[in-house]
Structure 1
């Protein structure tokens, strides 16, 4: 593996709405030869976790992706943990502009009460019914916020309000909790953090994932690259949803490459996040058309990259440069 980069450009992109507690998405584009990869691990992640993201960025910059077996993939729209008054326009655009027929809704946001989740789901369902998309699927993402008891009670309520949930993503923190939850509810359970933050997964660890999951969420960049994620999908043997990691349209291509290469793709992918960006690194932002994204790879636009780089203060550029050096060293040591 190439463990050096020819150029590294830290950047910041404003978001159209607060998401994951931030309105500014920071990261680094790394160049190897004439190709670029995106490296944007969240600031709170340790160097070993961030180094796995870097492995994926280097894979992308080398162009080392498997061949696609499909030219486009279905995607879901995403509704952040917003007030119901802000939800309607998002869902309407998702259906009427982007053509999405699956809506992923964030629930369990820290500082919010469960009644806010119920109201948000009710608004999504009402808008879908009103705009002629009553058959659209609703899935929820809890990010491990609930206990088993809370999840068992609350998912029944949300499923009733939604008129059915496709699945609940990571309702509890641990795999053991999720396995317990699966015995208590009819709503399918999807595992995200339980795979994404686990590092290398041994065969016994994969058994624990299978016990916990009806569906597995795979994110190419956090898992260390497209090829690693594809191998993991084969080893787990559960239905897969490919999702992104709040990427620019440069980084989103990694998720598309994974979704494009999977032998079976039964769920809409969580790659319709372009609407969350107020600016991008490419000349055009990857947005769904008829509910799908083409399996493409976009190069950064020099002017847009320069604008995004200029948004970072000197201390943040230095922070990212130092982090990059540390994570390259982690990869050299073989500990990620």
Structure 2
């Protein structure tokens, strides 16, 4: 296992901290605005953006990732660009073409399903619209964020399999459910991917040991950074897709660094999510061009940092969160 990076002093971190608030073009993951803290370390700019509902213990892992990326040299890339997918929120089917139009040249689309308050009929209509827009050669994958129970997942996959699915991401919440679901749908030839069962688990390798997934979805921030995520993928012995956590372009740069360093990368990555924002912190934004993202550090634009600065109370909230998570990291290194 990679040794934990030293924790830089809190004043050094806060000296360059900028808290930003970015509006989304469509509601996604229950939010209309995404907040993040950016700061600059010796290796470059980095991001801390755990979702607001996460407790400090979970958020501290995200801070460890941010500090590792900003203060430590990163693994060498083995590719200079990364193919990415379009991400389709749980929008009405009629809105699908306008969403996909924001993703230049992407050959793969990930479609959110199992949204609270919606029905399977809504999912079928949305996925059908995506398949029609992508054409027969496009790749369509689904993400349920663990919202289905076992029987609901089996029923939904059966209803959606006609759209030639690349895989279904986290259809159920628990590892045991994924094991059984994978057995039930094997005859349909629809692979199962694990996301939350990796990034939110006390043991991120449990899903692989249980035979609960065909591939892993890995995110740099929730797993503690690029180097730690690479270790998890290697130990799991499964193909991996690198995805984002609705990051700004700076945070997406961390995900791209992870994808670029993977020895094998057989799937398009979920790192095109800058296209979900109406603005960003970098110009040009790290959005797909011809379906790919370049590998390299992202430097924010000072004017955009000012333009998208969070309110004073939200800035104070985030800096207090950084302070608490920093204390947890220091205590863990003691």
Q: TM-score, normalised by structure 1?
A: 0.92
CA contact (8 A) 1:190 1:216 kept: yes
Root-mean-square deviation (Å): 1.5
Pick one of 56, 77, 88 that aligns with 1:79.
88
In structure 2, the residue matched to 1:331 is 329
Q: Distance in 2 between matches of 1:85 and 1:272?
A: 21
In structure 1, the residue matched to 2:3 is none
In structure 2, the residue matched to 1:107 is 113
Q: Distance in 1 between matches of 2:227 and 2:134?
A: 37
CA contact (8 A) 2:43 2:69 kept: no
Runs of 4+ that moved beyond 3 A: none
Pick one of 65, 68, 80 that aligns with 1:59.
68
Q: Distance in 2 between matches of 1:60 and 1:306?
A: 23
Alignment of 1:172-251 (within 5 A): 172-186=172-186, 187-201=190-204, 205=206, 207-208=208-209, 210-251=210-251
How far off is 1:61 after superposition? Answer: 1.2
How far off is 1:244 after superposition? Answer: 0.7
CA contact (8 A) 2:194 2:207 kept: no
Q: Distance in 1 between matches of 2:280 and 2:37?
A: 13
How far off is 1:18 after superposition? Answer: 1.0
How far off is 1:199 after superposition? Answer: 3.8
Q: Distance in 1 between matches of 2:102 and 2:298?
A: 24
In structure 2, runs of 5+ residues without a counterpart are 1-5
CA contact (8 A) 2:45 2:297 kept: no
Q: Distance in 1 between matches of 2:81 and 2:43?
A: 25
Deviations 1:95-139 (A, max 9, x none): xxx11111100000011111100100111112223xxxx211100
In structure 1, the residue matched to 2:149 is 147
How far off is 1:93 after superposition? Answer: 4.9
Q: Distance in 2 between matches of 1:192 and 1:79?
A: 17
Pick one of 113, 119, 122 that aligns with 2:125.
119
CA contact (8 A) 2:36 2:248 kept: no
CA 1:151/1:192 → structure 2, altered by over 3 Å: closer, same or farther? same
Q: Distance in 1 between matches of 2:44 and 2:296?
A: 14
Pick one of 135, 138, 160 that aligns with 2:137.
135
Q: Distance in 1 between matches of 2:65 and 2:43?
A: 17
Q: Distance in 2 between matches of 1:159 and 1:237?
A: 27
Q: Distance in 1 between matches of 2:85 and 2:18?
A: 30
Q: Distance in 2 between matches of 1:59 and 1:307?
A: 27
How far off is 1:34 after superposition? Answer: 7.0
CA contact (8 A) 2:22 2:35 kept: yes
